[in-house]
Amino acid sequence: MNEHAKNSWEQRDMQSVFHGFTDLETLNRNGPVVLTHGEGIHVFDVHGKSYMDANSGLWNNVAGFNHQGLIDAICDQARRFPGYHAFFGRIADTTVALSEKLIRLSPFEGGKVYYTNSGSEANDTVVKMLWMLHRRNGQPQRRKIITRVNAYHGVTVATASMTGKAYNAEFGLPLPGFLHADCPHYWRYARPGESEREFSERLARNLEEMIIKEGPDTIAGMFCEPVQGAGGVIPPSEGYFQAIRPILRKYGIPLIADEVITGFGRTGEMWGSVKYDLQPDAIVASKCITAGYFPMGAIILGQELADALTRASAAAEEFPHGFTAGGNPLGSAVALKALEVIETEGLLENVRRVSPRFLDGLNRLARHKHAGEARGVGLMGAVELVADKATKAPLDGRLQIPERIANKALEKGLICRPLGQAIVLGPPFIITEAQIDTMFDILEETMADVFADVG
């Protein structure tokens, strides 16, 4: 049991908050980290201890924790018009301006934007959009959704079913009709002697077989993260999207890019879809859209899908779906400013500038004898730990090595994330090369300490 003083913030948290995605044993042992404020890429706890956040919160606080321009944008909007909905054809002017900007920034020639409060809600909404679209197009049987092993698309009932990770078992998910294709992780899943291109082509053949077996006219759509994030930062194998794209076209299956993590610069391009040439029919965005200062999800529908959905909605008299706070003007104001900061105040440029230093740091960690693979792109990366480098045999999960590394790093003032057998990093876009060096110095030292402890 932890030894936090009675009535401390830690005790108050433990008595009043039910934390999600939290190992309760660790929480009981170490207590929560209760934060008061942030400065740049650091956050501060109630005792004044500072932590470098190498995960930008949850990938989203990309402009740091106290960006004055963002704070002013939200305060100015709050003084003028703090809240309104987007039902019944009503909307705040700021939300219209944001929609224009999102379409301009997107890879689409034109289109429309639909707003939610989170990435999960946005993906969930797209599922309903696709179901309604196919139903109105005389194909009501087109209901199956394809995602991939290791995908993360959210936590609602539908999006948890889309998520290809172990989180589902506790809830008796996935629901029927949610299919998981192969994960394009070459290092982990390639056959001996198989080239990266051959691997991508094999996965594409498997996908086509799955589609044919299920019945092409039963598939509503496929969702892909350009780089799988919560799956452990898995960039696609070479040629993967080029191999699967024609197959989806052949069977009339829309491709939805889940850019909740990769959208707005994380890979060094504004969109992961552009970096990896996905040519999606719609993009789902969230997280960085408001730089983490307000809850917001957005679906950017490409022109063709937007037109088709507009027709379906006209036939049904409406798209019968919406969230009270979707398109809230406070979120829109801060999103407009965040996109300006990313696009024109040098954040995207900084990701490109410091990314080589970040990737060098990952390679530095890869020299450790228990580092099986270091992988990354832009400012997202992971080091996967193994028992044996040559055989890639996984570590004994009971040792909880990644968790121990994250806990020890926390003691040293660094927040990083254990995910499966990997340590995952996604620092804010404003990070400097010197801060990157500090981050990897701490991690290198921590890995050495933890492996020395376990022997």
Inter-helix orientation angle 347-366/433-454, to 10°: 30
* 121 and 323 Cβ atoms separated by less than 8 Å: yes
Minimum CB–partner distance for residue 10 and ligand PLP (Å) = 25
Q: Does residue number 266 form part of the binding site for ligand PLP (CB under 6 A)?
A: no
Restricting to residues 244-263, name those near ligand PLP by CB under 6 A. 258, 260-261
Q: Which residues contact 11 (CB under 8 A, 6 or more apart)?
A: 4, 5
Exposure of 207 by Cβ count < 10 A (0-12 exposed, 13-18 middle, 19+ buried)? buried
Give me 294's structure tokens: 């307000």
* 454 and 399 Cβ atoms separated by less than 8 Å: yes
Residue closer to ligand PLP, measured from CB, 31 or 297: 297
- What would the x/- binding string for ligand PLP be over residues 18 to 57, using CB under 6 A? ----------------------------------------
Residue closer to ligand PLP, measured from CB, 95 or 150: 150
Q: Does residue number 417 form part of the binding site for ligand PLP (CB under 6 A)?
A: no
Candidate list 154, 239, 292, 326; residue touching ligand PLP; CB under 6 A = 154
DSSP for 365-416?
HHTSTTEEEEEEETTEEEEEEEEETTTTEEP-GGG-HHHHHHHHHHHTTEE-
Residue closer to ligand PLP, measured from CB, 53 or 258: 258
Q: Does residue number 180 form part of the binding site for ligand PLP (CB under 6 A)?
A: no
DSSP for 182-217?
----HHHHPPTT--HHHHHHHHHHHHHHHHHHH-GG
Q: Residues touching ligand PLP: how many (CB under 6 A)?
A: 15
Candidate list 153, 180, 370, 417; residue touching ligand PLP; CB under 6 A = 153
* 379 and 351 Cβ atoms separated by less than 8 Å: yes
Q: Does residue number 150 form part of the binding site for ligand PLP (CB under 6 A)?
A: no
Residue closer to ligand PLP, measured from CB, 230 or 308: 230
Residue closer to ligand PLP, measured from CB, 40 or 57: 57
Residue closer to ligand PLP, measured from CB, 182 or 225: 225
Minimum CB–partner distance for residue 93 and ligand PLP (Å) = 25
Restricting to residues 120-149, name those near ligand PLP by CB under 6 A. 120, 123
* 179 and 214 Cβ atoms separated by less than 8 Å: yes
Q: Does residue number 118 form part of the binding site for ligand PLP (CB under 6 A)?
A: yes
Q: Does residue number 265 form part of the binding site for ligand PLP (CB under 6 A)?
A: no
Alpha carbon distance 121, 154 (integer Å)? 8
Minimum CB–partner distance for residue 210 and ligand PLP (Å) = 21
Closest to 425 measured CA to CA, from 367, 369, 360: 360
Residue closer to ligand PLP, measured from CB, 60 or 77: 60
Alpha carbon distance 19, 26 (integer Å)? 12
Cis bond before residue 174 (omega within 30° of 0): yes
Helix, strand, coil in percent for the chain, rounding step 5: 45, 15, 40
Using the contact rule CB under 6 A, the part of the chain among 199-207, 223-231, 346-354, 376-384 near ligand PLP is 223-231
Chain centroid to CA 278: how far? Answer: 17
Alpha carbon distance 385, 422 (integer Å)? 6
Residue closer to ligand PLP, measured from CB, 288 or 414: 288
Residue 50 CB neighbours (<10 A): 12
Residue closer to ligand PLP, measured from CB, 253 or 260: 260
Minimum CB–partner distance for residue 180 and ligand PLP (Å) = 15
Residue closer to ligand PLP, measured from CB, 261 or 341: 261
Residue closer to ligand PLP, measured from CB, 107 or 119: 119
Minimum CB–partner distance for residue 287 and ligand PLP (Å) = 7
Residue nearest to ligand PLP (CB): 119
Restricting to residues 277-336, name those near ligand PLP by CB under 6 A. 286
Provide the β-strand partners of residue 255: 222
Residue closer to ligand PLP, measured from CB, 164 or 229: 229
* 125 and 282 Cβ atoms separated by less than 8 Å: no
Minimum CB–partner distance for residue 20 and ligand PLP (Å) = 10
* 99 and 112 Cβ atoms separated by less than 8 Å: yes
Q: Does residue number 422 form part of the binding site for ligand PLP (CB under 6 A)?
A: no
Alpha carbon distance 221, 127 (integer Å)? 8
Minimum CB–partner distance for residue 421 and ligand PLP (Å) = 19
Q: Does residue number 225 form part of the binding site for ligand PLP (CB under 6 A)?
A: yes
Alpha carbon distance 374, 361 (integer Å)? 9
Q: Which residues bind ligand PLP (CB under 6 A)?
A: 58, 118-120, 123, 152-154, 225, 229-230, 258, 260-261, 286
